[in-house]
Amino acid sequence: MVPCYHGNMGSMREITRTQTGVRLESRLLKVLKALATELDLSLGDLLEGIVLHAFEGKAPFSAATLKKVKALKAVYGLDLTARDSHQLREGGADAP
C-alpha cells in the first residue's frame, strides 16, 4: 500500500505485471495522471491501488486526496460521475 491509501505499508509482495493498452476517457486520464504525479506514484500503481480497494468495497482515498481530485477535475473539466459510468459511448474520430 502507498501513503495516499488508508493503512500501512505491510510486507512487500512480489508480483508480475503485464503491459496493457487500456482506453480511458481523455479528461479522466488527465486527472489520473496528474493525481499520480501529485502523489509521486506511477499511473499503474495508482490504478492498482484504486482497483484493489474497490474489490474490497473500501474507499481508496483520504479526505485530503479527494480534495486534490476535486481540484484536478475542475482544472481538466471532468464533469463525469459514477452515475455516468454505464452510459458512456465513444464518438468522433476516436470511435472504434
Q: pLDDT per residue over 10-68, tens digit each? A: 688 899 999 999 999 999 999 999 999 999 999 999 999 999 999 999 999 999 999 99
pLDDT at 8: 52
For residue 28, give its domain range: 1-9+24-79
Whether the predicted model's global pTM rises above the 0.85 cut: no
Inside any domain, residue 41: yes
Inside any domain, residue 93: no
Among 14-18, 64-68, 82-86, 92-96, where is mean pLDDT lowest? 92-96
| Cα 82-86-87 angle, rounded to 5 deg | 105
Q: In terms of C-beta density within 10 A (0-12 exposed, 13-18 middle, 19 or more buried), how is residue 5 classed?
A: buried
Inside any domain, residue 15: no
pLDDT at 10: 67
90 or 94: which carries more pLDDT confidence? Answer: 90
- Please, where are the H alpha helices in the chain? 26-38, 43-55, 63-76
Cβ-proximal residues to 77 (8 Å cutoff; 6+ apart), any chain: 27
CA 36/CA 44 separation, integer angstroms: 9
Please give the tally of structural domains in the chain: 1
Cβ atoms of 60 and 5 closer than 8 Å: yes
Inside any domain, residue 54: yes
Cβ atoms of 33 and 76 closer than 8 Å: no
pLDDT higher than 50, residue 4: no
